[in-house]
A and B are shown apart, each in its own frame.
Chain A
Amino acid sequence: GNSVTQMEGPVTLSEEAFLTINCTYTATGYPSLFWYVQYPGEGLQLLLKATKADDKGSNKGFEATYRKETTSFHLEKGSVQVSDSAVYFCALIGSNFGNEKLTFGTGTRLTIIP
């Protein structure tokens, strides 16, 4: 079945540091890949996505590139801010027709200190 493995947390960085959160996946075919973010006390919201190999998703300064050869979708940001403190989830939807079920990683808690 499908699975997502992401970097264990928690991760603590200073403001303006470079961020990488690793994510690798196992799936048959060509899944769509997502990063969701959960701010304290809230539900998850979509941060970015990529639907085919070599696509780059980007939003709010975050980027992730769909790498089929390494089955990875690492999240990066060049200069983090305190407001980026949240839990980040990598996820995929399988390429089977009608399969809308998201498979999530376990989440990585990010804390940015001023």
Chain B
Amino acid sequence: NAGVTQTPKFQVLKTGQSMTLQCAQDMNHEYMSWYRQDPGMGLRLIHYSVGAGITDQGEVPNGYNVSRSTTEDFPLRLLSAAPSQTSVYFCASTDRDTDTQYFGPGTRLTVL
């Protein structure tokens, strides 16, 4: 049981490049979410999904896209990277029976 996995762990992009952050979970959780963590701001919700085929925007969705074709996978796409997207990104899945969120190890992204 791997829990929530994220790849890559580190990434450096140039302004304007695109990339996809991968997230997968093996706990059969319906609810998944993406956060970004910035100093002094805690975690802010980017996008979330309540099940395969259903996604919705969180607090800071601009510049990011998501899709949820399977229960297991929830990739986050940066369409045209900007320096303001330099951050640590965490994926999480939720056990709705206990309201407990399980977090991946994070992806540290730097946009130059």
Residues of A participating in the B interface, judged by any CB pair closer than 8 Å: 32, 34, 36, 42-46, 49, 51, 89, 93, 98, 100-102, 104-107
Contacts and interface: CB of A to CB of B under 8 A. Distances in A.
A106 B42 CA distance: 4
A49 B101 CA distance: 11
Contacts of B33: 101-102
Given A34-B99, A42-B105, A102-B45, 6 more contacts: A46-B100, A46-B101, A51-B99, A100-B99, A101-B45, A106-B41
B109 to A, nearest CB: 15
Pairs of residues from A and B, 5 with the lowest C-beta to C-beta distance, nearest first: A43-B103, A106-B42, A104-B42, A44-B103, A104-B43
B103 A93 contact: no
Contacts of B58: 101
B74 interface: no
B53 interface: no
Contact of B96 (A44, A100, A106): A100
